[in-house]
């Protein structure tokens, strides 16, 4: 993809699921990838091995990997992490706000601490990472790119996951607000919104029965793969998307197309 070779990319939550696939995909594009991980050295090793394997398959990637430990719910960690990337890779070109969590509870019983945690990771963390990245983009005086990993729940209400839905709904406005504010500086801000994707965040991923039930609600009849999310993320970060900003691209097999209307049921036929 155009314009990714040699770029310095920071991926939050890079050692699992969608983030891992995004990081590995950027590596195969020849980018230098800073792998943010929270406290899972085994998953970090697994991610490095995946990148090595994928790079071997394409005859070598040429970029660097930089592990950066940090919890995106902690402001101090975010500042340290962004400084470390700039110091060790020389600059930051692309930020991927991917780290995310969810908590299920009937909304009237949701504990304040659980609500706060989801907002702190998914929304406040993404904003603070964007803030630090933008400071750096402005300091060095040229363009930069931010991609937020949102969700179909940016627009689809999700009962019993109110904090998750709220965090992704707000992410849409954050994407648009930052895109508008910094467009004159050549900074592009976009989002990808995955539908149901087979990753460890979902209990159905490795349960064939539950997975079948999930997939029965998806017009294309199957869950998405982390690699499908990674490909569109790379596209939005590339020069092929140089005139796109403030947009959310839904990657969902048709999940946001009101699947219940696939067969007419409201016209009295």
Nearer to ligand NAD, 108 or 161 (CB): 161
**Which value, in Å, is the radius of gyration of the alpha carbons in the chain?**
18
99 lies in the site for ligand NAD, by CB under 6 A? yes
Which of 1, 39, 2, 43 is CA-nearest to residue 19?
Answer: 43
Report if residue 63 touches ligand NAD, rule: CB under 6 A.
no
Question: In angstroms, what is the minimal distance from the CB of 147 to ligand NAD?
Answer: 11
- As a whole number of angstroms, the distance between CA 10 and CA 204 comes to 29
207 versus 239: smaller Cβ distance to ligand NAD: 207
Which residues form the catalytic set? 164
DSSP 92: -
E strand or H helix at 234: helix 226-237
CA distances from 249 to 52, 92, 117, 236 (A): 29, 23, 26, 9
**Site track for ligand NAD across 9-38, x = CB under 6 A:** ---xx-xxxxx----------------x-x
Q: Is 121 in the site for ligand NAD (CB under 6 A)?
A: yes
199 lies in the binding site for ligand NAD (CB under 6 A): yes
Nearest residue to 5 (alpha-carbon basis) of 44, 63, 64: 63
Residues at the interface with ligand NAD (CB under 6 A): 12-13, 15-19, 36, 38, 71-73, 98-101, 121, 149, 151, 194, 196-197, 199-202
């Amino acid at each position: 993809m155009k314009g990714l070779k040699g770029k310095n990319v920071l991926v939050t939550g890079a050692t699992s699921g969608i983030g891992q696939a995004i990081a590995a995909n950027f590596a195969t594009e020849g980018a230098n990838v800073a792998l943010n991980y929270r406290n899972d050295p085994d998953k970090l090793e697994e991610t490095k091995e995946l990148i090595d394997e994928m790079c071997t398959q394409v005859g070598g990637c040429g970029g660097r990997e930089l592990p950066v430990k940090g919890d995106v719910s902690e402001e101090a960690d975010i500042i340290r992490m962004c400084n470390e990337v700039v110091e060790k890779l020389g600059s930051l070109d692309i930020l991927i706000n991917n780290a995310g969590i969810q908590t299920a509870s009937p909304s009237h019983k949701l504990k304040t601490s659980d609500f706060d945690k989801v907002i702190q990771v998914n929304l406040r963390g993404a904003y603070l990472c964007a803030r630090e990245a933008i400071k750096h983009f402005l300091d060095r005086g040229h363009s930069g790119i931010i991609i937020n990993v949102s969700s179909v729940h940016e627009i689809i209400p999700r009962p019993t996951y109110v904090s998750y839905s709220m965090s992704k709904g707000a992410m849409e406005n954050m994407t648009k607000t930052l895109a508008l504010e910094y467009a004159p500086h050549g900074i592009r801000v976009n989002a990808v919104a995955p539908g149901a994707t087979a990753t460890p965040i979902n209990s159905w991923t490795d349960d064939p029965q539950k997975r079948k039930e999930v997939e029965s609600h998806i017009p294309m009849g199957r869950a998405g793969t982390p690699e499908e999310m990674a490909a569109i993320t790379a596209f939005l970060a590339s020069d092929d998307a140089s005139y796109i900003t403030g947009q959310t691209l839904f990657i969902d097999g048709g999940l946001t197309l009101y699947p219940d209307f696939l067969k007419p049921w409201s016209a009295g036929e």
